[in-house]
Amino acid sequence: MSPKHSIPSTDEAWDTGQLGNDEASVEVAPDDEALINEALGLQPISIRLEKSLIEDFKMIAELHGLGYQPLMRQALRRFADCEKKRLLRDALENAKRVKAGEPAKRRRAPSKAKKAA
């Protein structure tokens, strides 16, 4: 394209397809799963989950218009972020208590759920 025919790079130009909607913008992604995982910072894992939980995630994901695995990643990320914040708040509270001469609050480990008989 010559400079006088160029399209300014705006969100609207991308949304309407003026940009990125031609053969020159297409590139085939590598077929190497390890390379893709590395580029996205993903680590494949195996985990056993209840079938009903997976079905629930599939149903919820469909309602949100995405796959169940990305939804599970989002749910795990949200939990990890909230738990880290809670732990940091607890550590800050304990540090303030110790500084004020009070005993630190001891946190009990979560109890294990009882197995059904």
pLDDT tens per residue across span 43-69: 999 999 999 999 999 999 999 999 999
- Mean pLDDT (the chain, rounded): 85
Judged by DSSP in three states, 100 sits in coil
Put residue 70 in one of left, alpha, beta given phi > 0 → left and psi -120 to 50 → alpha: alpha
What's the mean pLDDT in 9-15?
A: 78
Cα torsion angle, 32, 34, 35, 39, sign = positive
Check residue 72 and give its pLDDT: 96
Q: What tokens appear for 80 in the block? A: 């990890």
Q: 11-26 burial, b for 16+ CB within 10 Å, e for fewer? A: eeeeeeeebeeeeeee
CA distance 94 to 89: 9
